[in-house]
Amino acid sequence: MKKQAVKLEDVAAVAGVSKTTVSRVLNHRGYLSQATIDKVHQAMQELHYRPNVIARQLFQQKTNLIGLVFPTVDNPFFAQLEAQLDQELYRRGYRVLMGNSQNNPEREEAYLRQLLNGQVDGLIVGAHNEGIKQYRDTQLPVVSIERWVSKDIPVVAADNYAGGKMATQRLLDDGCQHIIHTNYPHGLPSPNLERRRAYEEMMQARHRPAITYEVNFDSTDEEKRAIFNRLFTEHPEVDGIFADNDTNASLIIQVARKRGRHIPHDLKVVGFDGANMTRTLLPELTTVQQPIDEMAKRAVDLLQQRIAGGQTTGSVQLPVQLIDGGTA
């Protein structure tokens, strides 16, 4: 025979209290003596009672679920960022629903619909699609990482401009005369473009040409290699490259070596991100390191403030550092 589920009134009967009192104990509402609370918990233990979590969440209007929407985990920066966000949120009592958009706006909108229908308490986003109206229309607390979404959503970002200056200055200090940069297409609303602005201003200040090759984040490795081969064909004089991320830096080094270039002797390369996995697999890469773990922590801090209805301090910018690996 099927065993009957233990109900709230069963707990109340064993504890010798009202059903309302049991509900108040479960939802931590109102003043109750410790003796009453202990009696209710003892009755729950004797009856092996399991609270209806979904009902409690609806009553409290809180799910303890946070949605994450990022481009991919197939990238050292985003892999570390999402792992750290998951760890930080778990430590604070939240569960995570994760969606990777693959930089597809339709896919991102679908994830957002699913997350909003799932009644998450908040969102942390970092995908790179533009004009998705759910971000503007939702009343849900949202925090962005390294992406400008709307004026009402705070952004946690590294100091991309300072990082761009560090990378460019390092190549200049190494004696490079013909420095080229890679970055996202110019119209994409991302703090990443601050790296490009720093590079271009430093080159112009020295009356040198500022040449940026635009590379879509979601292009395949083969498409990126084709762009980098074109870079070397069109600018055989290049002796320094500031890549906008470590993945592109790695591909540039591969292409350069196949074309007979010797790093760092006749070509110097600086990347950007400095994720743990990159530092393990490509320790020789000189790169600007973002504080990825701290970015995750600060994003969760901001989101918790917004969930609680408090005033957030606005966007957050965190310092970066240059890691010397030997490619520049």
pLDDT of 297 reads: 96
Could you count the other beta carbons within 10 Å of the beta carbon of residue 209?
11
- The domains found in the chain, sorted by start residue, are 8-60 (1.10.260.40), 65-157+293-318 (3.40.50.2300), 160-291 (3.40.50.2300)
List, for residues 139-170, the tens digit of each pLDDT value.
Answer: 778 899 988 877 788 899 999 999 999 999 99
Q: Where are the beta strands (DSSP E) in the chain?
A: 65-70, 95-100, 122-125, 142-145, 155-158, 179-183, 211-214, 240-242, 268-273, 286-289, 316-318, 321-323
8, 52 Cβ separation under 8 angstroms: no
Is the per-residue pLDDT at 173 higher than 90?
Answer: yes
List, for residues 262-304, the tens digit of each pLDDT value.
Answer: 999 999 999 999 999 999 999 999 999 999 999 999 999 999 9
List, for residues 57-76, the tens digit of each pLDDT value.
Answer: 544 456 788 988 888 778 89
pLDDT of 58 reads: 45
pLDDT of 168 reads: 98
Could you count the other beta carbons within 10 Å of the beta carbon of residue 118?
11
145, 299 Cβ separation under 8 angstroms: yes
Q: Minimal CA–CA distance to 322: which of 181, 110, 168, 187?
A: 168
Mean pLDDT is lowest, of 32-36, 56-60, 113-117, 216-220, for: 56-60
328, 270 Cβ separation under 8 angstroms: yes
- Provide the 8-state DSSP code for 131: -
For the chain, give the number of residues.
328
Q: What percent of the chain has pLDDT over 70?
A: 82
Is the per-residue pLDDT at 134 higher than 70?
Answer: no
Question: What pTM, to 2 d.p., does this model score?
Answer: 0.78
Distances (CA, A) of 145 to 30, 71, 96, 214: 38, 12, 16, 22
* Banded model confidence at residue 2, pLDDT cuts 50, 70, 90: very low
Mapped onto helix, strand or coil, the DSSP state of residue 254 is helix
List, for residues 184-232, the tens digit of each pLDDT value.
Answer: 887 777 788 999 999 999 999 999 999 999 998 888 999 999 999 999 9
